[in-house]
Structure formats: C-alpha cells, structure tokens
Amino acid sequence: MSSALIIPVAIFLGSAAAVIYFGGLLAKYGDALATLTGWGRLFVGSLLVALATSLPELSTNISAVRLATPNPELALGDVFGSNMANMFILAVVALIFGGKRFLQKVAPEQGYLIVLAAIMTGLAVLFATVKVDISVWQIGMSSIILLVVYVIGMKIIYTKRTEDADGEDLEDPGVTLTKAWVMFGIVSVGVIIAAFFLAFSVDRIAEITGIASSTLGILSVAVVTSMPEAAASIAAARMGAADLGIGNLYGSCVFNISILAFADPFFRQGILVNQSEPAHLVAGGIAVILILSGLVLILGREKLHRLILLGGLLAMAGLYLAGAVIVATLGAPEHGDTSLAQSQHSNLDS
C-alpha cells in the first residue's frame, strides 16, 4: 500500500466501524421507542427502524455532495448499492433462519411495502437513465417526484398496517421513554459525524487509486452503511419477528431512494440523480430485480415447494454477487489512469 493511501484507508476503517456500531444502537433505541409508544411491529420495521438504520446512508450521501469537490457518484452508488445489499441480506437471513418457515412468518401486508420499494427504485433508475433536466428552486423535478411518491406510498402503507400483526408481545426494552429519546439523539449525532469521515475517506481513496467513486459507493460504502440493517434483521429473525426484519429491509430500500431527494438540495452543481454512470444503472436495475424476486417468493411461499423457495433465495444471493462483479469491472481504473494517478502522487510526495 502506498504511503498516500495509509491515512484515507485508516480513516475509512475507523469511520466504517463507528457507522456500524452507532447504526446498531440506532436500531436498538429505535425499537425501544416503538415499544414504549405502543406502535406495531409492521410499522416499526417499515418506518422507524428502517429510517434509523438508513441514517448512515442519509448522512453519508449529504456529506458526499457537500465535499470541497462534490462527489455525487459516491452518493448515487451508496443508494443503489445499499438496495442491492439489503436484498442480499434478506436472502442470506432467510436461508439461515429456515427458508420457507421464515418466509411463512411474513404478513401479507408487507406486499404493499415491497411494491413501493420496487416502484421507487425503478423510478430512480428511470430518472438516472433519461436525465430530466428540469428543476424547481434548484431542486430536480425527479427528486420532487420521488419525495411525493415516498410520502403517498408510506401513507398508504400506514393505513394498511395492523397493530402487532404477528401476534407477539413486544419485550420490555429496559429503558424509560425519556432515556430512549435522549440516546436515540446522541447516537444519531455519532452516525452523522462518522458518515462524514466515511464519505471523505472514500473520496480520497477514489482520487488516489483511480477507481471510480460509483464503484466504491456501490461495493464498499453501501455494504458498510447496510450493516445496521443486517444487524437489526438478524436480531429480529433470532427472536422470531420476521415482519420486523423484512419491514426493516424493504423500508430501508424505500427510504434510501428518498435520500436522493433529501440530498439534492445540498448538491449545487446540477441535479443529483442526473450524475449517474453505467455502474449506477446496473446496480439499480439489479436492485429492482431482487426486490421483485423477494415479492414473488414471499407472496408464493405457501404454494411454492420449499426447494423452489430455497433455489430462489440462492439465486437472489448469486445475482447480487454477479452484479458486484459487473460493477467492479465497470469501475476498474484503466492502466493509463492508474499510472497517471500514481505519478501525480509521486510528484506530490517528492
């Protein structure tokens, strides 16, 4: 490893560990707030826990577009890559915790959330492809549409939800409501700070190595910022609350796309979603396929043989890995670019 890379890599590893740690605490205290306020698990998973575990993506993306030299490619890569990673997490968790038995614990009301996740991700891919250059007060029309769809979709899901639909009693979180709110706020600040350094370090690594920021966003930052979703979903599966875990993953996919609208006002050099590269389109397209594949498996869990469900889950995991290879290939630096970057940094060192 070159000397120029040591500090950015160290910052990346430290900030990544902090994001994972604080993100896990966000899920913990978010769930505590949901329990203490009496909200049902479907709503907890799809909104509160999903929003809490997606805070790393939100803060990372805003930080990426607010860098001295904005890096919108990193922000877009994180969003589409996170949705890919969430579906990979779903497949792996379902495989580990019983396959068909796990999917049979999922309430049919989750279908509304899954369809919303597919619609929003598909719209984002469409906007990233056609690049509509229309804005209102320097906010892209595409961002406004995504935000409107998010609000309307979540309102529909809220009206369709049922309180404690899985019939399980929520455990006492062991903290007071006041303490839960205070800790939730403190941990949120920790995530925001750690995510800023995460975006900064990845931007520097991309600059030094010549690897595309879109690729680093999809394959590295997205995986790190999806770790809170993984931790929350595994914990939910272990306690038999499949709805909480599934709602968290698909709810995070929905909120991740809305982040494009939240981050767009902070990007002053155009419309955020219009800064897409081929790797973003590949990741977004694969994310849509994975989301719809999950919908088919969940809705057909009673009729499909367990071996077919098992094969479907394995195919989802395999498609994510194949997509990662394609993205890595698209983002790999050309030999000339790498040599130029190394030469520039050698001159700086001398």
Is residue 339 assigned to a domain?
Answer: no
Give pLDDT, residue 282.
Answer: 95
Share the mean pLDDT of the chain: 83
Give pLDDT, residue 21.
Answer: 84
Is residue 347 assigned to a domain?
Answer: no
For residue 39, what are its two tokens? 């909200």
Q: Please give the tally of structural domains in the chain.
A: 1
3-class SS of residue 135: strand
Is residue 336 assigned to a domain?
Answer: no
Burial class from Cβ neighbours inside 10 Å (0-12, 13-18, 19+) for residue 1 reads exposed
pLDDT above 70: percentage of residues in the chain:
88
Is residue 92 assigned to a domain?
Answer: yes
Of the candidates 272, 266, 269, which has an alpha carbon nearest to the alpha carbon of residue 141?
Answer: 272
Is residue 344 assigned to a domain?
Answer: no
Give pLDDT, residue 158.
Answer: 77
Contact (CB, 8 A) for 71 and 65: yes
For residue 288, what are its two tokens? 């849509």
Of the candidates 248, 258, 259, 305, which has an alpha carbon nearest to the alpha carbon of residue 90?
Answer: 248
How far apart are alpha carbons 307 and 315 in whole angstroms?
12
Q: 78-128 pLDDT, tens per residue?
A: 999 999 999 999 999 999 998 999 998 888 878 899 999 999 999 999 999
Give pLDDT, residue 52.
Answer: 78
Is residue 214 assigned to a domain?
Answer: yes
Q: Which amino acid is at 38?
A: G
Give pLDDT, residue 341.
Answer: 41
**H or E element: which one contains 140?**
strand 139-140
Residue 201 to residues 16, 260, 266: CA-CA distances in angstroms?
Answer: 10, 21, 19
Give pLDDT, residue 156.
Answer: 85
Which residue(s) pair with 140 in the sheet? 135
Give pLDDT, residue 88.
Answer: 96
Is residue 322 assigned to a domain?
Answer: yes
Domain of residue 154, CATH code: 1.20.1420.30
Give pLDDT, residue 322.
Answer: 95
How far apart are alpha carbons 290 and 94 in whole angstroms?
14
Supply the range of the domain harboring residue 73: 3-163+180-331
How far apart are alpha carbons 204 and 191 in whole angstroms?
20
The yes-or-no verdict on residue 134 having pLDDT over 70 is: yes
Residue 205 to residues 5, 27, 57: CA-CA distances in angstroms?
Answer: 7, 29, 19
The residue ranking higher by pLDDT, 261 or 44, is 261
Q: 257-300 pLDDT, tens per residue?
A: 999 999 999 998 889 999 999 999 999 999 999 999 999 999 99
Contact (CB, 8 A) for 103 and 309: yes
